[in-house]
Structure 1
Amino acid sequence: MKHLLEKVLSSKQVFRGRYLKVEQDQVQAPDGKTYVREYILHPGAAMMIPLLSNEKVVMVHQYRHAVKQVFLEFPAGKRDRGEETLLTARRELREETGYEAKDWKFLTTIHPVIGYSNEHIDLFLARDLTAAPQQLDHGEFLEVVEVSPDELMKFVREGKVTDVKTQIGAFWLDKILHGEWN
């Protein structure tokens, strides 16, 4: 597959925000021609599937400004500099939902937007939940809800859950609960 790699000839940062950076590279492609590639550098994130003892999952309703909609999502958040994603997951679960988990299981890593970002999200199953104080970030507004796995899968089928990380988490949860994956 090395024959598909592109050689970076030059790179420059064209935007630097609080969390995201936009890079522009000039590359030599396998055909020998030069092309421009623009992409977003992202610090990485963690998403949790918090499973309650009653078999419901803890989710959040959150407004996403880029698409001007409120979404039903699993809790998730960006990594702080140098932070391991399990620590990110623990911190974000407490901040967003007001829960802590004693049992954590890493499920997988996803790359949700490979066409224009290096973003990766580590997915975790969180069990043995206990209530803790919710600690929302400044300017963060969420509504915490409990959803049954069957209801969640219905929402996915009906197009009511379109957030890709949440859809992937729903499919993982379904397989785990049906004993198809450990």
Structure 2
Amino acid sequence: MDHDWPVLESETEYETGWYDGGYDRVEQPDGSAKNYYWAALPPAVVVLAVDDGDVLFVDQYRPTIRKQCMELVAGIVEQTDDETPANEVAPASDRESYVAAGRRELREETGYEAGNVEFVEEFWTATGVLRHKRGIVFADDLTEVGRDLDSNEFLSVERVPIEDALAVARAPPANDATIEGILLAEADGHL
């Protein structure tokens, strides 16, 4: 492609505690200009955790879509001042690694500590509207240690046999992160 899509203007129209939103006015290949709207969110981790032949799901109500959902454990990759070990993938130098975030989220939401957490994949999501990266990690060798839910987390832990996990993930209301996590872990030989 011989056109670099120059950004003529970039405007953040609103900021919330959760995400920012705005637009970039971009020169298109034909020379015309158009506003491309975006929402910017911090990176998130999705955890595919396996224990005794079961995948751990969380069952929770999602007010945004007004539905009860069966999902894999997931959460925001938090800000940190720690340096990321060389064998862990970090979305940015000022954030915890996906592996560290996955360990933390698994412990908080399910009450299990993972003896093994492996990075699977990092990718952009909904690139037509979001500035948001997602990382998938696989966890096993679990030990129950007790949950530490955030004040806005009302969820239950559900065990699903590995052979039923994809069917549960695909049942309405299906969640993209859960389907992606299962498929990527399966493709990498974790399931």
- Please report the TM-score for the alignment, with normalisation by the length of structure 2: 0.85
The question of 1:110 aligning with 2:123 is answered yes
Write the distance in 1 (CA, Å) between the matches of 2:55 and 2:143.
Answer: 13
Identity, % of aligned pairs?
A: 27
The question of 1:86 aligning with 2:99 is answered yes
| 1:123 corresponds to which of 136, 143, 164 | 136
Relative to structure 1, is the Cα distance of residues 64 and 7 closer, same or farther in structure 2, using a 3 angstrom cutoff?
same
Amino acid at match of 1:69: K
The question of 1:30 aligning with 2:29 is answered yes
The equivalent of 1:155 in structure 2 is 168
RMSD: 1.6
**Which stretches in structure 1 are left out of the alignment for 5+ residues?**
none
Deviation at 1:172, TM superposition (A): 2.5
Q: Is the 2:21–2:40 contact (alpha carbons within 8 Å) kept by the matching residues of 1?
A: yes
Where does 1:1-182 land on structure 2 (aligned, <5 Å)? 1=1, 3=2, 5-52=4-51, 54-81=52-79, 82-84=94-96, 85-156=98-169, 159-160=171-172, 162-175=174-187, 176-177=189-190
* Runs of 4 or more above 4 Å deviation: none
Relative to structure 1, is the Cα distance of residues 38 and 63 closer, same or farther in structure 2, using a 3 angstrom cutoff?
same
Write the distance in 2 (CA, Å) between the matches of 1:145 and 1:5.
Answer: 48
Deviation at 1:55, TM superposition (A): 1.3
Deviation at 1:90, TM superposition (A): 1.3
Amino acid at match of 1:58: L
Deviation at 1:177, TM superposition (A): 4.7
Q: Is the 1:149–1:173 contact (alpha carbons within 8 Å) kept by the matching residues of 2?
A: no
Deviation at 1:119, TM superposition (A): 1.0
Deviation at 1:111, TM superposition (A): 2.3
